[in-house]
Amino acid sequence: MLTPDQRAELIRLALAMRQRAYCPYSRYQVGAALLAEDGTLYGGCNVENASYGGTICAERTALVKAVSEGARRFRALVVATANGGSPCGICRQALYEFAPDLQVILVDAAGAVRAEHRLRDLLPDGFGAADLE
């Protein structure tokens, strides 16, 4: 369970990251804030590319930053979009690798919470390391 201060800080960071988005094609700014189990926050924004397959979502940007810094366990993610949009399937799968029970909070551009889920509810029957055994 997040404290009110942790929730507020995650929302603040996700909104700030949204402002850094590089999205000249979709014009859909996304910011993300990921809380590691040790309390460290990692932010990310979407970074589009003219070769659309080269685009990376905000959620995966935050995840890759965290993993590259040594984090492997996560508690919560806030995603900020204009309308409270949800992570795409690729992001859900990437996050599932590390945190199937991740708390996912979706906020709009004003920071209002639009929805809150557990990642495993957003990705039912998710595919993980155990499925490779």
Class of domain 4-128: alpha beta
Burial 4-14, CB ≥16 within 10 A → b, else e: eeebebbbbbb
The answer to whether residue 19 scores a pLDDT higher than 90 is yes
- Catalytic residue positions? 59
* Predicted confidence (pLDDT) per residue in 24-80, tens digit: 999 999 999 999 999 999 999 999 999 999 999 999 999 999 999 999 999 999 999
Residue 68 is predicted with a pLDDT of 98
Residue with tokens 């942790």, as numbered in its chain: 6
Domain assignments of the chain as residue spans, ordered by start:
4-128
- Give the mean pLDDT of 8-19: 98
